[in-house]
């Protein structure tokens, strides 16, 4: 039983609980979309999504919403993960897998450094 005995206790519970529900109210934070059309799923988008969710939870990240999206027409690059950070340009990661996804969470979402070599731009440049 979590007896709340101070405002700090309440704050702690609030922070924990907030992570569960902030997707309902918070539209300003970081937004991660995972392509989940047939192409995406076939290419392994589901484990990617699960890895992102797991990593976010493990690292206690709040203010991030994870959304699926349909096919954006780049089926050969699937699984695709798009990252919208407020105030920054959208970054599109391609050919993701669970490991890469976990690193993106750590480097991009938490530390603020996009991993350029996995993005669509770098693939196009090649």
Distance of CA 102 to the CA centre of its chain: 9
As measured in angstroms, the least distance from the Cβ of 64 to other proteins is: 10
Strand partners, 119: 93
Residue among 3 and 111 whose Cβ is closer to other proteins: 3
As measured in angstroms, the least distance from the Cβ of 102 to other proteins is: 15
Q: Which stretch binds other proteins (CB under 8 A): 7-15, 76-84, 102-110, 116-124?
A: 7-15
For other proteins, the binding residue among 14, 90, 113, 116 (CB under 8 A) is 14
Best CA proximity match to 103, nearest among 114, 90, 95: 114
Distance, in Å, from the CA atom of 12 to the CA atom of 26, rounded to the nearest integer, reads 19
Verify binding: residue 110, other proteins, rule CB under 8 A. Answer: no
Verify binding: residue 28, other proteins, rule CB under 8 A. Answer: no
How many CA atoms, within 13 angstroms, populate the side-chain half-sphere of residue 4? Answer: 9
Verify binding: residue 7, other proteins, rule CB under 8 A. Answer: yes
Q: What DSSP string describes 1-13?
A: -----SHHHHHHH
As measured in angstroms, the least distance from the Cβ of 30 to other proteins is: 11
């Amino acid at each position: 039983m979590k007896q709340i005995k101070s405002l700090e206790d309440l704050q702690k519970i609030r922070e924990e609980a907030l992570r569960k529900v902030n997707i309902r109210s918070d539209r300003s934070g970081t937004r991660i979309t995972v392509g989940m059309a047939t192409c995406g799923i076939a290419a392994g988008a589901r484990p990617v999504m699960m890895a992102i969710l797991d990593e976010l939870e493990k690292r206690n990240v709040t203010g991030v919403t994870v959304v699926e999206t349909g096919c954006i027409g780049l089926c050969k690059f699937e699984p695709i993960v798009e990252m919208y950070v407020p105030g920054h340009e959208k970054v599109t990661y391609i050919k993701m897998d669970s490991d890469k996804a976990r690193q993106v969470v750590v480097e991009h979402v938490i530390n603020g450094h996009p991993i350029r070599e996995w993005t669509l731009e770098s693939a196009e440049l090649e």
